[in-house]
Amino acid sequence: MKKLLFAALFGFSCVAAAAPQPVIDTDAVAQLTEIRNILLTNQQKVYACSDGEKLYTVGLQIKHDGSEYKCVLKKDHAEW
Backbone CA torsion sign across 4, 9, 12, 17: negative
Q: For residue 64, which amino acid is it? A: H
> Does residue 2 form part of some domain?
no
- Across the chain, mean pLDDT equals 80
Rounded Cα–Cα distance for residues 50 and 60 (Å): 11
Higher pLDDT, 16 or 72: 72
Give the number of domains in the chain: 1
> Does residue 78 form part of some domain?
yes
Rounded Cα–Cα distance for residues 45 and 62 (Å): 22
pLDDT in tens, 20-55: 777 788 888 999 999 999 888 887 778 888 888 888
Residue 35's pLDDT is what? 93
- The CA R_g of the chain, rounded to the nearest whole Å, is 31
Triad 55, 77, 71: Cα angle to 5°: 50
Q: Over 80: is that where the pLDDT of 19 sits?
A: no
> Does residue 67 form part of some domain?
yes
Domain region containing 65:
44-80
User: Which residues are paired to 62 by β-bridges?
Assistant: 69
> Does residue 15 form part of some domain?
no
**To the nearest whole percent, how much of the chain has pLDDT over 70?**
78
